Chain A
């Protein structure tokens, strides 16, 4: 077999077998919410592939050129190379528009998937020790995704994106003391400058994606090193992961998800028009279009700009302009809070322990309240960013709408947070598994904070069986009430298998079939004291007896090794 020979050559040079065996046997928890991050990853892959294609045609320059192509109303017009090449991609490059639109849709999906993934991690407490570092890496990736989305939106030099760029420029300009320096350094002068587009380009296609790739690697390496967290359930412990193995079950499902993401990206890219820059026309500092919105993932900033009252004040005779507090302030505070959250929560709860078992959201009503507050706050900001469109469609005066939203942004988050808080407490207090099952008593308990006494779960009947396969490898299996879990890989010797079982289920007794001659128990790792020796002897006797009884009760099972 040619593949076996090639693999043997590879293994001889790199020693890939043990890594490969471990990797294929890696266990992923069986819960759909663990796939959110994967969705983001696959959207990122779609972005890399489509984006690379786009770079072959896009000209990142604002130097003037004459568009000569199929879009008749622009034919023969003098426009920037960036704009002309984007229109050419949409009209004159065959399949160019599909790839361009797929790229843009993938970007919208990408950030959405990151946000959903972050919400899962937040509400289940997956960011707690030992995963704080990965939370920090993830928040950084969210920030970079927003940045790269914005630079991509700004590159075609069309009227809409130029307006967005102008707003960002003004926002940076509003930073006290250093704002004018940062803004003019970043843009190469006073907006608009010919330097802007090439800088956006190199940042969009090289610098940020490069950092992003590195951070994805770190993110995944940390997951591999720490292994997955998991929801509570039968057999789920602090020192094991229960679920499906990478190969074959998870690999097939992952590729299915990958192709599913690609299907959605290309379906949207082909069927739903996005960012028709030829309609918006080229940027000119004296021209405007209305309605003007940014992409959804930065629209919260635009909403904050619209919502904030016209307040400017002076500090030591210097101006603090209106955009500073809503745009710079809200963005900075949000990300600082995100970064600090694991430590803030630890400080608040005093919980410094390491956690591999996730919480259900209801187990931490305070956290649910904070999350509900933030979600509502940003939802109101997003709606505000579209206040002109809503006013246009409903004929409500935009000033009245704005006043309503100003009140909502102050009140609604508290209301939603309070409702979420008491709902979570009611769920925690009772036995309801979903909102529909909440009883009056539960709700009352949720409001009063009193806990309903529940019988502690009985100590589960559980045991582990260890056996030797016909090919001399070893495996083990855990038996609990209503659940059986097999060891994820075959072990080369008995000791290895026993160690794994004892790590995964400390304190659970181990039975074994076909004990090899002479060796029944592992040698103790540390020099045992007399008490340990006595206990070990007892366990030894017990296990020997029980094992033999088990032998008599069930005929020895043989299980084919993988």
Chain B
């Protein structure tokens, strides 16, 4: 995911937004999730053990402090855990391109190996702890569907498109999330999202949820079997289509029928 910028998707989005119909954008299938290469145990970064330290000093220390103790500009990283660091970096939420800019899912700045090096470096800060990077995969979709509707759909929508929260913040769509990122988000609770520790959602249940999100991402085009999904935004967009395409075409026909041929 991280090394696939998925340009056609963004192009499509811009096109749709330009047409003022961004709501109708197709949720294109996310590229097939790779089998979580960032899962532990972490192999050593290819460019030497100091790679993580160097990258941290370059990109993170100015806000999070030399040893992750945090500054006025950024929170402490001392006990966030590898899952949180990997989630923030692999979804491109960190590093912030500009301070104050909302951190949203975008292309990762670092390569996979760099992320691994950074995760390892941050994990070395005392006192450490925090959720490890989960190994996610191979869940059951029926169980995942039920869990998703209990724990996730209120914010991320039953269709996975996300929803609006307070103050312009949103629960993001899940169409680009990899299983590992889903597992990390469930355990960490990034941003406004609640965290779900293993007492609430077991590892198997997280696997199931990730499997069902895979269904929602609709890689094989089987979920939206009804046709153009209208961004899966529900009755509002359906109403727009009913007026703009449906009734308008019929009215044009009536207009034609009601006029004499010349």
**Interface residues, chain A, with chain B CB atoms under 8 Å away:** 30-36, 38-39, 72-77, 90-91, 97, 101, 104-105, 108-109, 112-113, 116, 153, 159-160, 253, 256-257, 260-261, 264-265, 268, 270-276, 278-281, 284, 286-297, 299, 382, 385-386, 388-389, 391-393, 395-399
Contacts and interface: CB of A to CB of B under 8 A. Distances in A.
A281 B145 contact: yes
B167 A274 contact: no
Nearest to B228: A272
Nearest to B243: A112
B42 to A, nearest CB: 33
B32 to A, nearest CB: 17
B54 interface: no
Contact of B154 (A112, A287, A398): A287
B212 interface: yes
B245 to A, nearest CB: 7
B49 interface: no
Contacts of B76: none
B261 to A, nearest CB: 11
A271 B166 CA distance: 35
B251 interface: yes
B142 A275 contact: no
A219 B241 CA distance: 29
The main secondary structure of chain B at its interface with chain A is: helix
A74 B149 CA distance: 12
Contacts of A32: 254-259
Given A293-B236, A396-B168, A159 B149 contact: yes
Given A73-B145, A261-B250, A33 B258 contact: yes
B225 A91 contact: yes
B162 interface: yes
Contacts of A73: 141-142, 144-145, 212, 215
Contacts of A276: 159, 223-224, 226, 229, 232
B1 interface: no
A257 B257 contact: yes
Contacts, number: 209
B41 interface: no
Contacts of A389: 23, 164, 233, 236-237
Given A264-B245, A272-B230, A272-B241, 15 more contacts: A30-B260, A36-B254, A39-B254, A109-B250, A160-B158, A271-B227, A272-B238, A273-B230, A275-B235, A276-B159, A288-B153, A289-B149, A289-B153, A297-B239, A395-B170
A112 B250 CA distance: 11
A138 B255 CA distance: 23
A159 B150 CA distance: 11
A279 B154 contact: no
Given A77-B146, A273-B224, A288-B153, A393 B254 contact: no
Contacts of B246: 105, 108-109, 112, 264-265, 268
A35 B238 contact: no
Contacts of B229: 273, 276
Contacts of B19: none
A448 B150 CA distance: 63
Q: What are the 3 closest A-B residue pairs judged by CB atoms, nearest first?
A: A32-B258, A296-B239, A273-B226
B163 interface: yes
B242 interface: yes
Interface in B149-181: 149-150, 153-155, 157-159, 161-164, 166-168, 170-171
Contacts of B256: 32
Interface residues of B, number: 62
B234 A291 contact: yes
Nearest to B150: A287
Given A73-B141, A288-B153, A288-B154, A397 B166 contact: yes
B238 A284 contact: no
A291 B157 contact: yes
Contacts of A39: 247, 250-251, 254
Contacts of B241: 268, 272
Contacts of A264: 245-246, 249-250
B253 interface: yes
B104 to A, nearest CB: 9
Contacts of A294: 235
Interface string B189-216: 0000000000000000000000010011
29 contacts: A31-B258, A32-B255, A35-B258, A73-B145, A75-B142, A101-B226, A116-B251, A153-B235, A159-B158, A253-B258, A257-B253, A257-B257, A264-B250, A268-B245, A271-B228, A272-B228, A272-B230, A273-B228, A279-B158, A281-B145, A287-B150, A289-B154, A290-B171, A293-B236, A295-B235, A296-B240, A297-B239, A395-B168, A398-B166
